[in-house]
Structure 1
Amino acid sequence: MIWDKKLAKKRLDEAYNNAKIEYFDNNSKYIFFSDCHRGDNTPSDEFAKNQNIFLYALGFYFNNGYTYVELGDGDELWEHSNFKHIRLAHDEVYSLLKKYYDSNRLIMLYGNHNILLKYKDFVKNNFYKFYDDYNEEEIELFPGITLYEAVVFKHNITSQEILAVHGHQGDRMNDKLWRFNMFTVRYFWRFLHSIGFINPASPVKSSEKIHKIERIYGDWIKTNKIMIICGHTHRPHFPKANELPYFNDGSCVRASGIQGIEISGGKIMLIEWKIRTDSEGDLHIKRKILRGPEPIETFDLRNKMANRVSIH
């Protein structure tokens, strides 16, 4: 992984300037998940172990009026060239996502591992509808859906802005050279991945690289005075009192469970869903608040003081 500060600034500027605008207020509810890396349910499919946790969590948010924001890398399209195999392997997930879409509560961004979704023809051919072999008929999935590189959440009253991106912008191997990286993953690292090896271009295992990403994104936040919510590194992050408003929602493929960012009631928090035991030894899927909640406007004030604080 090669991070380029100038490239990151350029790419984040492009993402911000071309972003979809999503207006919100203190009654709005959002759950941000990313890096599901949904595969075909073979040993290389990291999402499979957490699918039931994900389904339970997403069902909870749907029933409680949240909009689901998927911050990229939802589908593992680098390892699997045929989206049909992913959809069949995780049919329940896509059925639930369709409920969000039909309720106008689904916002999907593409990341580096599903960057093919920036191409309209690919989306139309794979996401609008699919052919049901059993019933021998076409079924709508997400007809007319648009996927985005970035979304700017803008508060109706305060005009405070939050830039939501996947977080690969500026990562040269996963951004500008993604075709080469996809080729190596699909025909080489995919098979090593299934027995535990990690692609060296991935940011997941290197704390030094992750901290560099956070510093580079922190510079952009400091310059533009806009908070960021992203994924990509798989490392959840909620800023401390002396840090710039860089948020990372973690991932859905960690052994400990899935992490995400919630916004509701004008507040933001970092949460985790995992399987826990009760006093009688029964297993339950439980939600835990890891950091927060804190008022979103608190981080707007931090932005106004951006020249006095930094990410560590």
Structure 2
Amino acid sequence: MFTQKRLTEAYKNAKKMYFDDHSRIVFMSDAHRGDGSTSDEFLKSRNLFVHALNEYYENGYTFFEVGDGEELLEYSEMEHIKNAHTDTYQAIKKFYDKNRYIRIFGNHDIYLDNPKYVKKNLFINYDEYSEVFYDFLKGIEPQEAVILKHRNTSQELFVLHGHQGDAPNDQFWFFTMLSIKYFWRFFHRVGIKNPASPVKNVTKRHKIERNYSKWIEKHRRALICGHTHRFKFPNNKQIPYFNTGCGIYPASITALELTEGMLRLVRWKEKVDENGVLHIKRETMRGPEPVEAFDIRKPKEVVEYLAEMKIQRTKKTRETRAAFREEEMENDKED
């Protein structure tokens, strides 16, 4: 019951933004960036994360970081985190400078709900090499939740971290912070995880997801979140609950992409080719599926029809682009 209330409160207070079939958005969450010490879980995947961000930046995406970007419950000094992951924050700054970075806070970076903390730690940064302060994410306003509304159909995607109503990580987060900072932090160094966390506790994780599902069914809105670290992309007959996964899997990171009006769950991972050369590859795990396929406000038959029309239009557009590129190549050969 409390989860339903908290999700509804977040929805009512959410920042509203618009998207359409030309929008390019990537949702990523739960990087848990630390201070670079042995207990920093982000260390093993930061190269994947930076590479993925650079690819998304070059291809015109807006980056939604859906909570727990920093592990502030474990490492309270934001300065140390920024210094440990300079490449990551340089990539984030590129998005922000182009007005393409949206920050949502979660339970492990709940301090970002405090404007004074944000101003002190994110507005400026310190360059240790040149020994000067410079504008970093000046003016940023982290949100608890965002509603993405389609310009033409009014379909909504409700985006938030997903800890709302999870008692130890919501209303009792301060006590959880104390246990993490002064107890579990040291166990992390030898690979022992907190068994009460939804990441490791399957029963707890499934309970949280059932609460998400109840809210979606009642309010008839698609939900995009993180928190559980369990990536999720609904099947055709499932309710529209999406989970971005996380950025601290042992050998990969996951993301949810929205482009050309299509949703797709992807994984970035390291692969070795036949010559022994290490590459970073992006692979599709689920999708792409038209965003209309997850509009549960409409009858099922209407949703299926709109989704099929979107697939056909997208296929035709891609074929036209391919033909145009082929024609250009032929003209270049003739010249």
Give the TM-score of the pair, scaled to structure 2: 0.88
- Residue 248 of structure 1 corresponds to 243
- Residue 60 of structure 1 corresponds to 55
> Following the alignment from structure 2 to structure 1, what is the Cα–Cα distance between the partners of residues 232 and 190?
28
Report deviation, 1:303. 4.5
In the alignment, is residue 109 of structure 1 matched against residue 104 of structure 2? yes
Which 5+ residue runs of structure 1 have no aligned equivalent? 1-5, 307-312
2:195, 2:201 within 8 Å by CA — same for their partners in 1? no
In the alignment, is residue 125 of structure 1 matched against residue 152 of structure 2? no
What pairs up with 1:139-158 in 2 under 5 angstroms? 139-158=134-153
Report deviation, 1:119. 0.3
- Residue 174 of structure 1 corresponds to 169
> Following the alignment from structure 1 to structure 2, what is the Cα–Cα distance between the partners of residues 235 and 303?
26
1:187 to 171, 182, 186: 182
- Residue 263 of structure 1 corresponds to 258
- Residue 229 of structure 1 corresponds to 224
Report deviation, 1:305. 5.5
Q: Report the 3-state secondary structure (helix = DSSP H, G, I; strand = E; otherwise coil) of the residue aligned with 1:173.
A: helix
> Following the alignment from structure 1 to structure 2, what is the Cα–Cα distance between the partners of residues 210 and 187?
24
> Following the alignment from structure 2 to structure 1, what is the Cα–Cα distance between the partners of residues 176 and 37?
21
Q: Report the 3-state secondary structure (helix = DSSP H, G, I; strand = E; otherwise coil) of the residue aligned with 1:291.
A: strand
1:245, 1:303 within 8 Å by CA — same for their partners in 2? no
1:274 to 263, 269, 273: 269
Report deviation, 1:278. 1.5
> Following the alignment from structure 2 to structure 1, what is the Cα–Cα distance between the partners of residues 131 and 252?
37
In the alignment, is residue 284 of structure 1 matched against residue 279 of structure 2? yes
> Following the alignment from structure 1 to structure 2, what is the Cα–Cα distance between the partners of residues 277 and 131?
37
Report deviation, 1:218. 0.4
Q: Deviations over 1:96-135 (max 9, x none)?
A: 1111000000000000000000000000000000233442
- Residue 201 of structure 2 corresponds to 206
Q: Deviations over 1:159-209 (max 9, x none)?
A: 000000101011000000000000110111000111111113310112222
Which 5+ residue runs of structure 2 have no aligned equivalent? 301-335
2:194, 2:200 within 8 Å by CA — same for their partners in 1? no
Identity %: 49
> Following the alignment from structure 1 to structure 2, what is the Cα–Cα distance between the partners of residues 272 and 133?
34
> Following the alignment from structure 1 to structure 2, what is the Cα–Cα distance between the partners of residues 242 and 167?
22
The structure whose Rg is larger is: 2
> Following the alignment from structure 1 to structure 2, what is the Cα–Cα distance between the partners of residues 110 and 158?
28
Give the TM-score of the pair, scaled to structure 1: 0.94
* RMSD over aligned Cα atoms: 1.1
Q: Deviations over 1:231-260 (max 9, x none)?
A: 000000000122100000000000130001
Larger RCO, structure (CA 8 Å, separation 6 or more): 1
1:25, 1:155 within 8 Å by CA — same for their partners in 2? yes
- Residue 74 of structure 2 corresponds to 79
- The structure where helix makes up a greater share of residues is 2
In the alignment, is residue 296 of structure 1 matched against residue 322 of structure 2? no
